[in-house]
Structure 1
């Protein structure tokens, strides 16, 4: 925590020392959500509430680009001066869930209002209802190529689940938007005939397999998407949607798990051709966190030991390669053979207090549901 300027630093070396004071806006929102989430699960603690509020205050005071329609920056300096703006809506998404989760604890309506504003902004941008006020435009020249990205509906589906829980007054709106998200994922990105879920399809929702970007599969993303969809299926009581989510998990983990070295590959090609991303065969921390969450939920819901076996296999791999028994926490980035690429590093612009505590807490809660509270250790 930055006691001087507020918010959180996430560029930490192996021992926890800050090696860069630039701040990730994603991580301000993710940290605020994480500590609020932990308070909801395990009871409010002053240091957790203080951490969440510090990040929320920093976001509000320094991370909003008011000249660009309330879009949020991607990175800022230690004191909060803007450094970088990105076209993607993920800063806004993490801002929304942070404020929503905090509102659920405190009942302070300003936080729900902030979450609602960000929610509507993301929805409008994702659905082309407004021009991006940053002026950045799409990643590729739209006259040449435009399309749909899996990240948009899947992340928005997760945002909806949190918003709906704390804001029941707008349940009808959330239910409608959630159905739009799952329909988009199943209709366009889920491709059982290819044995995968595609990251990108064309504007009409069809695969374009003649170039590398059209064949990208991110198994960790697919697995994260699967548990978002399982949660939605359980909310609706939709068995068919749950089975689709299970199949998304199975296709991703069967294709993405490294048969030689273990661990989940970062990118694979839908047609088995070369991938363009240089980091394609690395093992990153967060996909393994997503396996833990998705496998535990699928096992709870189905009783199929297939999912329990994947949970245990992933925990074994993660303890052997990601976890640091000397200083704690997880390494973020491994070579294909399981050795850390940056053994002196624990945090970065992208890795902070989010995926690991989310996975540990959610997996613990799910397993407790399975075995019963009486068998769980006291908090």
Structure 2
């Protein structure tokens, strides 16, 4: 790495550290529910709550985030308190014990159930939150909860049990069934966190992680199409004659790429790392908007129209994933290609997503980079997760590269 690169990385790291502090303070000040416990995430630009319904995903994600910050930077009482508040709220209000301990998707401010979804992501974020907190405290109950949810997800993803909620698939199974990229990639991330805090089960985690990467590489990664597909059929083959079968989510692919880089580094698997790099390259080169900048939300693998009306919006989290993936790829390979994408993305984020006046990042931009009106800092899907995860992980990688 050249002296010029080192100077630039120090400048970027200084900016990231300030953004991380501002982002964390924003959620601690405005998001935490001091009365009922847990976190509100439907916050406007200034941090005012515009809906008191609570996202179950975000209870788990918030608990994980503050636990992870303690793991990286040392325990702080306000971070531990925030994590514990969300974990307690999850346990007391968000687990549907009448449906096999599946978790709800949304609940009221007090924790009354509102909605159940078929997807296993509430369980996934519950699992990583409990696992990360266990890694800090060593209290066995949190690992037990994480393991229970982890096992439930594995069984559901692999068709080993019927969904205890009774919710069926999106489409009529006899007509069309498939496999989603989100299942193996998110489970791979869950495994990485659990393996770090629970070394006693390393052999099982290693075996299941390999199952995940095999599915991603052999089924969803399609270099002949120049993309990684969101869905394939039950035989692991593309179905390109309808729009859902052609969907590419570039941000999702880029997130998947760094999950796979982490796994490749753990295994010492250079071939897997090269595949992860290629997933990144295909996604960012197809998804980057050369006219307005930023990463498009959805694209069609054949360049045909997409059904999602939000396909050309710019969302915060894909840009967060670029930061993590590009910084890790540059660290691992030394290839300036990844450094260029890191810096280009940070420049875009500085210009369009950040809000120096009130802190945190806008979540939803139009294609031209202007926030949707009225602008928001949080929603059912945006809370204290993607931005602080990207800032903290990128800060750590840059510190490795800078060497202090």
Q: 1:343 to 1:324 in 2, by over 3 A?
A: farther
Q: Is the 8 A contact 1:331 1:343 kept in 2?
A: no
| Offset from partner CA, 1:75-108 (integer Å, 9 cap, x none) | 0000000000000000000000000000000000
Deviation at 1:344, TM superposition (A): 3.2
Partner of 1:68: 99
Q: What residue number does 1:354 align with?
A: 385
Question: Is 1:119 aligned with 2:153?
Answer: no
Distance (Å, rounded) in 2 between the aligned partners of 1:217 and 1:342: 27
Q: Deviation at 1:123?
A: 0.1
Aligned to 1:297: 328
Alignment of 1:124-139 (within 5 A): 124-139=155-170
- 1:75-154 superposed matches below 5 A: 75-154=106-185
Instruction: Give, in whole Å, the separation in 2 of the partners of 1:87 and 1:363.
Output: 33
Equivalenced residue count is 373
Distance in 1 (CA, whole Å) between partners of 2:148 and 2:295 is 36
Encode CA deviations 1:35-84: one digit per residue, 9 max, x unaligned.
00000101100000000000000000000000000000000000000000
2:74 corresponds to 1:43: yes
Distance 1:47 1:113 in 2: 25
Q: Secondary structure at the match of 1:7?
A: coil
Q: How far has the Cα of 1:21 moved from its partner?
A: 0.4
- Residues 260-311 of structure 1 show CA distances to partners (whole Å, capped at 9, x for unaligned) of 0000000000001000100000000000000000000000000000000000
2:8 maps to none
Q: Within the alignment, does 1:197 sit opposite 2:228 as a pair?
A: yes
Q: Kindly state the Cα deviation for residue 371 of structure 1 after the two structures are TM-superposed.
A: 1.0
Tell me the distance in 1 between the aligned counterparts of 2:154 and 2:161.
10
Most deviating of 336-345 and 29-38: 336-345
The equivalences for 1:210-225 within 5 A come to: 210-225=241-256
> 1:266 is matched with which residue: 294, 297, 300?
297
**SS of structure 1 residue aligned to 2:114:** strand
Deviations 1:293-332 (A, max 9, x none): 0000000000000000000000000000000111111000
Output the CA distance in 2 between the equivalents of 1:281 and 1:341: 13
Give the conservation status (yes or no) of the 8 Å contact 1:282–1:336: yes
1-structure distance, mates of 2:371, 2:246: 28
Cα deviations by residue, 1:148-207 (Å, 9 ceiling, x for unpaired):
100000000000000000000000000000000000000000000000000000110000
Task: Tell me the distance in 2 between the aligned counterparts of 1:283 and 1:173.
Answer: 38
Partner of 1:171: 202
The aligned residue for residue 337 of structure 1 is 368
CA contact (8 A) 1:223 1:248 kept: yes
CA offsets 1:335-367 (integer angstroms, 9 cap, x no match): 000000134311100000000000000000001
Shift in Å, 1:137: 1.1
CA contact (8 A) 1:25 1:75 kept: yes
Aligned structure 1 segments of 4 or more residues deviating by more than 3 angstroms: none
TM-score with structure 2 setting the length: 0.92
Distance 1:127 1:13 in 2: 39
Aligned to 2:193: 162
Instruction: Choose from 169, 184, 209 the match for 2:240.
Output: 209
Q: Does 1:367 align with 2:393?
A: no
Q: Which residue pairs with 1:16 in the alignment? A: 47
Task: Please list the CA deviations of residues 202-227 of structure 1 after superposition, one character each: whole Å capped at 9, or x if unmatched.
Answer: 11000000000000000000000000
Kept in 2, the 8 Å contact 1:333–1:342? The answer is no
